[in-house]
Structure 1
């Protein structure tokens, strides 16, 4: 505990506060425990209210009803806290600008109290769901903030607010006429175009592109940032200029974009969207060093000067309807992926426990992904040899029969990826040349194993699983390095006493790769990560190459 013994204004309240603090410090120093000290050690949890920072409302129409916009404030994770929260929605600052009411589509938990709504909620994600509409007579560009506070016994809630404004841009991305079944290596142009159907100009736009692993965006521009991930590649471009309402824009001829199907392409997604850019805040200019920092005949001096703040990452400005800002194209590429099972051999006397790794691999050339789904990209069925029992199985594997296990990958298996599922086995009975099998494939609509339709090499989908062979086993070719992580093991049976002197060939226990080969593909609906890619220095000085849009129809360039 840190104690402040400094001075301060000589008011009685301040003096009492300092005395109280000194007394508390003294009590702690001598080791006395008081209820107050105990309470300080177990401070109340702090929960943060999350909501939209800004929303744009369509002006009140001349005929018909105003268009509602959903807004919400929620506590993301209250953990084990089971208390009730009270949320107060203060609408005073938007009076005459916007009407804010509780959403009729959600359970009702609010009561009106003048310019405020008082709402009560509890549970894992408590909060309030609201609907905002423009008030009749509200002026274009009028704005105000809705502020929400929260309280709960035994907890602290940080407030949040959403700025509501009347009118704004409404960018609509046009659908691209893309070929849905390109061949590996085939490239097609991306003649991107959008229209501003809003009531105000956009002061710059943010173009967001996301292509799954088998697709390439070959061009590079200085006002774009690029990120390559395991399952997708993202591009974010910030384009300056004024993009007027009721006008249509297309890519400028000197800044084309193309989409290419790679050699590893199979089932691919391409997402493209356009959003208004938030006006950047002015960075503080760096000041030149004073005379003391200049070089002199006496030599150079080490000096420090104020550093210019980095330009902030481009943030989206409100759009009147974000449902039409983004498009998704899906492609089915004529390609193959060859899944191969790896043979496995275990040896040992009766009662021996051995460690063995069941393996398979994707020889490519294509990667395999079940986009937007948790369905495994591949499953490996393991039929145990006679006399062999599972002691410990990986978390990715489950028993489907007493002597049969089924192991599942994640929804993604990349090209040349090795799959490995480490087991602990017990040889209960030493049977010579006992035969089992390891089979790799996919799942049908009913969840049953089947051969992958894109796997046209059938001779290597199954491999032998042999216990105590009398002949020397043939070693399989060395697989490519694994990209998987080791899963945690789960006990499927209690091991009995016995020596651990058995051995395995084929995949061995030193292979640290695990069964699951990756989590679900990142939702293409997520935008915060894409926007956050762009940082300082987007516009380079010199002979830089810029992505730009031009106005369609009158030839006026807007970049």
Structure 2
């Protein structure tokens, strides 16, 4: 029988077994050192056969601001009395220096002082015991002439293990083509997930047409993320799929080319009890309930410079299988164009000149994710010119050649500009240089992008002191073939020429005119959205002997 579950907003932070302990009071004259470590650790149950895999549990000893040296000895005591068979803890046998000795239900460890650049603290490892449940590890410290704040870690054995099924998506859609998202997942763990979080992340050229009330959306320059939450129990050994009356689709936009689509499922967080208390400083804090959820979203919206995560996750026995990613290659093109440039001036003067390129689209260009620029630009200076200043993105190959790099993405219809200051050492009439744009080659040189159908405009003339007023002739030669892509620098305003000189950026208006920083910044899913006015639903599929996504 099909079970519908509404994806309702869930807020809060997840930390299994998190325990809040007030800091020890410090004597006024003593420095206070902090022990920092993981507040919550979730372990999968011990396997039926074989040994469980140990998990690292590290604590670091940190001094107060301005104190990075301490000569005294720290005694750090690890209290294991509250683990109750849930897990065992020992000093990591691979630790560089042995510091700990067992003493009853504790480990007593010695840390010899604190030195700049030398890690101080404990390197432990935790192994799941024979029973599931929750335990607590507490680490306290003492030192002559100093106070040490304790650290507490909740240890939980047994958890849901949500596994996202792989969707058989069409990997080579055409621009404008839409396909359904047959989303499925299963819980292979030994505990139910008390609510789940679905996350979908589509790169700029992909659209998520539907909008649901119980999903939150955020669009950046290069992607859109949708996060949908649902309350309820997602039982062990059960599979779940998207209900037929709340579909999801993925559409390739007119600007799509090399795209990525990530999709994942995670247990929803369980807010610790401490979070239900009002914050005494007046800062907004996540609380349970729908009104609090809206407040948390408002708080996130205010952090435009560094947006907070759309959702936190609860403990999962194996986070490695929660997410999958599909790479889509859309049949599309993008046309890089170099803009002609002219510089005039008397010998001894300095001219400001802006080297400009443009992506005429229709596709945006994204990099490989390794920081590779979307394009590189070679600037060959005309005879008699010397660069006085160059942009940070440009470096000299030799005295007459500079090589510039864009950011890892260049949007459709986006200008990228590189402002130079050039000294006219000798006023040579009709001195010829060149501007070439292309994909970074084996040695960084511009080569042909495989997706660029127009090669003629990859090369533009760079002329100094022309004798005619007509269009500058194109320089000889053409970029050599090859391909690759990455992201763009934002367009910047062209600099004006200094007194006694002129710098002509070539075209006035036209396809290479700057459109400002908002050019082509229509976000994913910003057009043709469907206001569903309801919630996204899931169907539960139970099978004997296990579940399959």
Q: Judging changes above 3 Å, is the alpha-carbon distance between structure 1 residues 95 and 485 closer, same or farther for their aligned structure 2 residues? A: farther
Contact persistence 2:380–2:402 (CA under 8 A): yes
Spell out, residue by residue over 1:284-305, the C-alpha distance to the aligned partner (whole angstroms, 9 max, x if none): 899xxxxxxxxxxxxxxxxxxx
Structure 1 segment 263-302 matched on structure 2, within 5 A: 263-280=254-271
Q: Give the RMSD, CA atoms, in angstroms.
A: 4.0
Aligned to 2:126: 132
Match of 2:363 in 1: 366
CA contact (8 A) 2:378 2:445 kept: no
* Larger RCO (CA within 8 A; separation ≥ 6): 2
Whether the 8 Å contact between 1:58 and 1:166 is mirrored in structure 2 is yes
Tell me the TM-score normalized by structure 1: 0.71
CA distance in 2, matches of 1:473, 1:150: 81
Choose the corresponding residue for 1:310, options 282, 292, 300. 292
Say if 1:285 and 1:131 are closer, same or farther in 2 by CA, change over 3 A. Answer: closer
Among residues 456, 460, 467, which one is paired with 2:457 in the alignment? 460
Change (3 A) 1:276 1:420: same
Cα shift at 1:512: 13
CA change 1:75–1:195 in 2 (3 A) is: farther
- 1:226 correspondence with 2:212: no
Partner deviation per Cα, 1:148-170 (whole Å, 9 max, x = no partner): 56799999986543311121101
In 2: Cα distance, 1:240 partner to 1:393 partner: 56
Q: Gaps (5+ residues) in structure 1?
A: 1-20, 22-35, 37-42, 287-306, 477-481, 490-498, 518-542
Q: 1:217 to 1:279 in 2, by over 3 A?
A: same
Offset at 1:397? 0.5
Residue 143 of structure 1 pairs with residue 121 of structure 2: no
The separation in 2 between residues aligned to 1:550 and 1:126, in whole angstroms, is 50
TM-score (norm 2): 0.72
Partner of 2:393 in structure 1?
Answer: 396
In the alignment of these two chains, the number of paired residues is 448
In the alignment, is the contact (CA less than 8 A) between 1:149 and 1:157 conserved in 2? yes
Kindly indicate whether the alpha-carbon contact (under 8 Å) linking 2:406 and 2:489 is maintained by their aligned counterparts in 1: no
Instruction: Check the 8 A contact 2:91/2:100 in 1, yes or no.
Output: no
- Residues in 2 aligned to 1:278 and 1:207: alpha-carbon distance in whole angstroms: 12
1:348-387 matched pairs, under 5 angstroms: 348-387=345-384
Residue deviations 1:396-449 (CA, integer Å, cap 9, x gap): 100001100000111111111111111111000000110000011111244332
Asked if residue 449 in structure 1 is aligned to residue 456 in structure 2, the reply is no
- 2:163/2:186 contact within 8 Å kept: yes
Q: Any conservation in 1 of the 2:416–2:491 contact (CA below 8 Å)?
A: no
CA distance change for structure 1 residues 131 and 284 in 2, over 3 Å: closer, same or farther?
closer
Q: Conserved in 2, the CA contact under 8 Å of 1:208 and 1:274? A: yes
Partner of 1:63: 49
Q: Which residue, 75, 92, 100 being the options, matches 1:111?
A: 100
Aligned match of 1:123:
117
Provide the secondary structure at the position in 1 that maps to 2:390: strand
Which position in structure 1 is the counterpart of 2:547? none
Q: Aligned partners of 1:156 and 1:221: how far apart in 2?
A: 52
Give 1:484's aligned residue. Answer: 490
What is the aligned partner in structure 1 of residue 466 from structure 2? 469
Q: Does the Cα contact within 8 Å between 1:440 and 1:462 map onto a contact in 2? A: yes
Match of 1:411 among 408, 412, 426: 408
Checking the alignment, whether the CA contact within 8 Å between 1:475 and 1:506 is kept in structure 2 is no
After superposition, what is the alpha-carbon deviation per residue over 1:92-146, rounded to whole angstroms, capped at 9, x for unaligned?
232532122344566456433532363758638766554322123x3x3x21233
From the superposition, tell whether residues 66 and 285 of structure 1 become closer, same or farther in structure 2 (CA, over 3 Å). Answer: closer
1:57 deviates by 1.7
Rounded to whole Å, the distance in 1 between the matches of 2:318 and 2:232 is: 21
Task: Report Cα offsets for 1:470-490 as digits up to 9, x if no partner.
Answer: 1115499xxxxx971669x9x
Asked if residue 249 in structure 1 is aligned to residue 251 in structure 2, the reply is: no
CA distance 1:461–1:326, shift in 2 (3 Å): same
CA change 1:243–1:271 in 2 (3 A) is same
CA distance in 1, matches of 2:39, 2:209: 35
In structure 2, the partner of 1:551 is 540
Q: Aligned partners of 1:76 and 1:339: how far apart in 2?
A: 52
